[in-house]
């Protein structure tokens, strides 16, 4: 069976190629060298011979990620934001970008900065309203449609296939931040997206010890070549040791993600009717406004991310976070340990996130321990 036919679980477990041809090692080598020698005829041995353009351990991780998403190529960056800002750099001067009004705040903040400087024109749309998405995309004007699904921190689900059609009809490309789906439960490129993005800091690495971002393309084209060039010129590739750790994390992606999904569903169901909880936001619940799309688009669990709207205001939500004993009071997501965060504190007063929202990143612990922890914190 050729590697391209392997199922994603196998691709991840072997990080695509399990055996190092030079040594027979079944974990990949770590090439730390920043420069690579030329051969006898003074020809570079590798396609890049200086680390800013890429290096062998990085390429290994990229090939595995491209195979997982069934894209033609992947590029790893020193952070998720480095990947996002590099992609946005390919939007022509004054070009139009459409994106959701609620999403990962770092991306929204960066888009607003570019708009304020006159670098791009920006339309933010309500991601829960299909006609608002259609209305935000301008035929012949929009260059890039950026979506996130499920999106931070309401976990609303956007229909990728429909949005891809709208983008393409308008002459734009669709890029999808699929960090929360983690290349497990949704495959955006198969649904028509042009580029899929992950903060690999989160589920792909999964152990809260790497900062990394990846873009994966359906097709290698002129825009992709510009992204590759920009990464080298800006100097934003992922470093070899981080790439090596990422490969190590990737090998357990599917078991981690499935356990986190099962735990999160248990928590969501348990707290949905809780007297101290106003609402649970989780795409796996029938009460969630994205549930119908999620049933179609999330084919392997609804992920480990959910939010609790506690009864009361910001102070009540913060108090619950400080009382947790098992779930850790920290930002980020997608690690094996569960984390809780009062999102409004992190995003600041201008954030559209509700005051009483606690964002939970559910890990792979026993669900009963997590439920008991939140029960005692709610008091
Ligand atoms: C963390 C995150 C990012 C940014 O990635 P970094 O690796 O922190 O730079 C972008 N989008 C989503 C959904 C994220 O969770």
The pair of three-digit structure tokens given for residue 3, joined into one six-digit string: 């590697």
The pLDDT, as a whole number, for residue 306 is 98
What's the CATH fold of domain 253-378? 3.90.1150
- What's the Cα-to-Cα distance from 100 to each of 146, 285, 303, rounded to whole Å? 8, 22, 20
Q: Tell how far the Cα of 361 is from the centroid of ligand 1, in angstroms.
A: 13
Residue with tokens 């429909």: 162
* Residue from 139, 136, 160, 138 nearest 148 by CA: 160
Q: Tell how far the Cα of 91 is from the centroid of ligand 1, in angstroms.
A: 20
Residue with tokens 């393409």: 168
- What's the Cα-to-Cα distance from 20 to each of 16, 55, 60, 200, rounded to whole Å? 11, 15, 11, 24
Nearest residue CA, atom 9 of ligand 1? 80
Q: Which of 179, 183, 239 to mutate to test the pocket of ligand 1 (most atoms within 8 A of CB)?
A: 179
d(CA 148, CA 176): 5
**CB 254 within 8 Å of CB 184:** yes
Q: Tell how far the Cα of 125 is from the centroid of ligand 1, in angstroms.
A: 20
Tally of helices (H runs) and strands (E runs) in the chain: 13, 12
DSSP percent split of the chain into helix, strand, coil, nearest 5: 40, 15, 45
Indicate the domain borders of the chain: 3-250, 253-378
Ligand 1 binding pocket (C-beta < 6 A) is 79-81, 104, 106-107, 148, 152, 177, 179, 199, 201-202, 211, 213, 333
- What's the Cα-to-Cα distance from 297 to each of 4, 78, 191, 234, rounded to whole Å? 23, 29, 9, 35
Q: Which of 76, 83, 153, 199 to mutate to test the pocket of ligand 1 (most atoms within 8 A of CB)?
A: 199
Measured in whole angstroms, the distance separating CA 349 from the mean position of its chain's CA atoms is 25
The pLDDT, as a whole number, for residue 3 is 56
Q: Which residues are catalytic?
A: 52, 104, 177, 202
- Sequence-distant (6+) residues with CB within 8 A of 363 are 260, 263, 304, 335, 336, 337, 338, 339
Which atom of ligand 1 is nearest the CA belonging to 200? 7
A 10 A CB-CB count for 313 gives: 12
pLDDT in tens, the chain (379 residues): 455 688 999 999 999 888 899 999 999 999 999 999 999 999 999 999 999 999 999 999 999 999 999 999 999 999 999 999 999 999 999 999 999 999 999 999 999 999 999 999 999 999 999 999 999 999 999 999 999 999 999 999 999 999 999 999 999 999 999 999 999 999 999 999 999 999 999 999 999 999 999 999 999 999 999 999 999 999 999 999 999 999 999 999 999 999 999 999 999 999 999 999 999 999 999 999 999 999 999 999 999 999 999 999 999 999 999 999 999 999 999 999 999 999 999 989 988 899 999 999 999 999 999 999 999 999 8
Q: Tell how far the Cα of 289 is from the centroid of ligand 1, in angstroms.
A: 24
d(CA 40, CA 119): 48
Q: Which of 202, 330, 334 to mutate to test the pocket of ligand 1 (most atoms within 8 A of CB)?
A: 202
A 10 A CB-CB count for 146 gives: 26
d(CA 81, CA 198): 10
User: What DSSP character marks residue 71?
Assistant: -
d(CA 140, CA 172): 8
Computed on alpha carbons and rounded to an integer, the radius of gyration of the chain in Å comes to 21
d(CA 179, CA 27): 25
In words, the CATH class of domain 3-250 is: alpha beta
Q: Are strands 121-125 and 96-100 parallel, antiparallel or unpaired?
A: parallel
**CB 263 within 8 Å of CB 300:** no
d(CA 105, CA 335): 20
Nearest residue CA, atom 2 of ligand 1? 199
- What's the Cα-to-Cα distance from 50 to each of 38, 54, 63, 228, rounded to whole Å? 11, 7, 19, 14
A 10 A CB-CB count for 287 gives: 11
Q: Tell how far the Cα of 293 is from the centroid of ligand 1, in angstroms.
A: 23
d(CA 5, CA 66): 13
Q: Tell how far the Cα of 79 is from the centroid of ligand 1, in angstroms.
A: 8
Nearest residue CA, atom 12 of ligand 1? 104
Which atom of ligand 1 is nearest the CA belonging to 212? 7
d(CA 367, CA 3): 36
The pLDDT, as a whole number, for residue 4 is 61
SS3 per residue for 79-117: CHHHHHHHHHCCCCCCCEEEEECCCCHHHHHHHHHHHHC
d(CA 294, CA 299): 8
Nearest residue CA, atom 7 of ligand 1? 80
């Amino acid at each position: 069976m050729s590697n391209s036919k392997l199922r994603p679980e196998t691709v991840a477990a072997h990080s695509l190629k399990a055996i190092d041809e030079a040594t027979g090692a079944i974990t990949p080598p770590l090439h730390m060298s920043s420069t690579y020698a030329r051969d006898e005829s003074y020809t570079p041995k590798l396609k890049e011979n200086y680390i800013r353009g890429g290096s062998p351990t990085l390429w290994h991780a990229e090939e595995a990620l491209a195979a997982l998403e069934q894209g033609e190529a992947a590029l790893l960056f020193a952070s998720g934001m480095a990947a996002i800002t590099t992609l946005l750099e390919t939007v022509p001067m004054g070009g139009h970008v459409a994106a959701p009004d609620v999403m990962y705040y770092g991306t929204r903040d960066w888009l607003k900065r570019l708009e304020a400087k006159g670098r791009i024109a920006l339309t933010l749309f309500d991601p829960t309203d299909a006609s608002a998405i259609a209305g935000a995309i301008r035929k012949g004007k929009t260059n890039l449609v950026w979506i996130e699904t499920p999106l931070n921190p309401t976990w609303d689900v956007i229909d990728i296939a429909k949005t891809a059609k709208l983008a393409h009809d308008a002459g734009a490309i669709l890029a999808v931040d699929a960090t929360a789906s983690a290349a497990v439960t949704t495959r955006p490129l198969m649904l028509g997206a042009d580029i899929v993005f992950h903060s690999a800091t989160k589920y792909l690495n999964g152990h809260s010890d790497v900062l990394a971002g990846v873009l994966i393309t359906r097709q290698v084209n002129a825009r992709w070549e510009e992204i590759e060039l920009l990464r080298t010129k800006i100097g934003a590739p992922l470093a070899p040791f981080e790439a090596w750790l990422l490969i190590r994390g990737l090998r357990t992606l599917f078991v981690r993600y499935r356990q986190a999904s099962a735990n999160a569903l248990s928590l969501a169901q348990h707290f949905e009717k809780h007297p101290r909880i106003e609402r649970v936001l989780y795409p796996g619940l029938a009460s969630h406004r994205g549930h119908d799309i999620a049933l179609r688009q999330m084919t392997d669990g609804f992920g480990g991310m959910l939010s609790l709207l506690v009864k009361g205001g910001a102070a009540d939500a913060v108090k619950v976070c400080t009382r947790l004993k098992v779930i850790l009071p920290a930002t980020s997501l997608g690690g094996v340990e569960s984390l809780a965060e009062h999102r409004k504190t992190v995003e600041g007063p201008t954030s559209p996130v509700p005051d009483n929202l606690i964002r939970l990143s559910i890990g792979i612990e026993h669900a009963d321990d997590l439920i008991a922890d939140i029960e005692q914190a709610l008091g």
